[in-house]
Structure 1
Amino acid sequence: MLETLEHETRSNPDWCVLWLHGLGADGHDFAPIVPELLRPDWPALRFVFPHAPVRPITVNNGARMRAWYDIAGFDIASRQDAAGVAQSVGQVAELIAREGERGIPPERILLAGFSQGGAIALAAGLQQPRALAGVVALSTYLPVAEATVAASTEAGRGTPVFMAHGSQDPVVPEQLGLMSRDRLRGLGVQVDWHSYPMAHQVCREEIDALATWMQARLVA
């Protein structure tokens, strides 16, 4: 089981937001976003921020860092680490199962991620046997697309997705995000797409749009 950082907005949370960080970061990276997202009428939430395993990254001369999978070259869409992606998808499934043991079923779990974490969120969300409340994929793309699509489930394809990307992103080009969006929509996935004039980052407008999207799922 991955090590995690957790924050509960109130005791006895009814919902969980499972948030995956990007390459080289850790679970602390997006913890500060919690107060910026919250709305007063939301139910009690448990935010879970897992730390990815430490592994060597080929594109960084084999330097060891926290990562959900290896990056073999600067063209991140080629020579993808299918084994690493599959391992991380399995670890996310374990975290989802643990929330079930703590009383929060998949339909009350939002799976979110940024960059590499967003890629795993998309892949894991598509492969779940039971639909999640939603998937949030920021500045990212659908990894090992053919295998991920082949492993997708009816429940996964029925899970709504929020995607946002920077139009000036030099790390994960927006075109990769757009291609992934179109691939998901071709599977029948409901994708809410947002583009912002920014680089590989998040912005205030993006957080506000995400909060509005989450509101629709958290408050019936």
Structure 2
Amino acid sequence: MEEELIELGSPTASKRVILLHGLTGTASVIRPVAEYLCKRLGEDYSFLLPTAPIIKVKQFNGEPAHAWFDVKSSDFRREADIDGIFESSDRIASLVRNEISQGVSPKDIYLGGFSQGGVIALTTALLEPFAVAGVFAFSSYLPLEDQLTSRMTD
């Protein structure tokens, strides 16, 4: 199954918001939030809603779920899935680079997410060389402080 990507708003909108769902969610689950924001923000904004891949989540006894990275235990800060976080961050960075290649300025791109999606939005904003307009994370956290600090860009 190909991963879902929902696009909302005008493709010619000057500003883009890449909005990421949380653990077990999908683009369809977060769509009502994007639809609400689209109405409130107006025609200048469009939204990209990617869906995380289905992976086996250790915290769920290895059951498959949509997740941006594995959750190995309830102490998610101590046992972070470093590779999974960086892989998902790379995937979102490629979405940003695609928007830039289509003529959208990085200063018109916003990254945001809930829970795991917030982790990926924050990580991407810190690691990539492009300076996005803004980043937001709800019910989230910033993991991998040491690994991020050593990889951060200007």
TM score, norm. by length of structure 1: 0.65
For residues 32-62 of structure 1, what are the alpha-carbon distances to aligned partners after superposition, in whole Å with 9 as ceiling and x for unaligned? 1134334667452220000111100000000
SS of equivalent to 2:146 = helix
Gaps of 5+ in 1: 155-220
**Which residue in 1 is equivalent to 2:141?**
141
Aligned positions, number: 153
The alpha-carbon distance between structure 1 residues 43 and 150, as it changes in their structure 2 partners (threshold 3 A), is farther
Paired with 2:148 and 2:88, the residues of 1 have a C-alpha distance of 13
Bigger relative CO (Cα 8 Å, ≥ 6 apart): 2
Change (3 A) 1:74 1:132: same
Shift of 1:2: 5.4
Task: Name segments (4+ residues, structure 1) moved above 6 Å.
Answer: none
Instruction: State whether structure 2 residue 52 is matched by structure 1 residue 52.
Output: yes
- Offset at 1:103? 2.2
**1:117-140: CA deviations, max 9, x gaps?**
000111110112021000011100
How many Å separate the matches in 2 of 1:34 and 1:127?
Answer: 25
Which residue is equivalent to 1:110?
Answer: 110
Pair 24,103 (structure 1): closer, same or farther in 2 beyond 3 Å:
same
Could you state the TM-score of these two structures normalised by the residue count of structure 2?
0.91
Q: Percent identity?
A: 33
Alignment of 1:101 onto 2:74: no
- 1:85–1:143: 8 Å Cα contact kept in structure 2? no
Structure 2: gaps of 5 or more residues: none
- In 2, the alpha carbon distance for the partners of 1:34 and 1:118 equals 15
RMSD of Structure 2 on Structure 1 (CA)? 1.8
Aligned pairs for 1:1-220 within 5 A: 3-8=4-9, 10=10, 12-38=12-38, 42-154=42-154
On the 8 A contact 1:54/1:65 being kept in 2, the answer is yes
Query: 8 Å contact 2:38–2:47 — kept in the other structure?
Result: no
Shift in Å at residue 105 of structure 1? 2.1
- For 2:122, what is the secondary structure of its paired residue? helix
Specify the SS of the correspondent of 2:55. Answer: strand
Closer/same/farther in 2, CA of residues 107 and 37 from structure 1, 3 Å limit? same
The structure with more radius of gyration: 1
Q: Which amino acid aligns with 2:17?
A: V
Distance 2:134 2:8 in 1: 19
The aligned amino acid for 1:7 is L
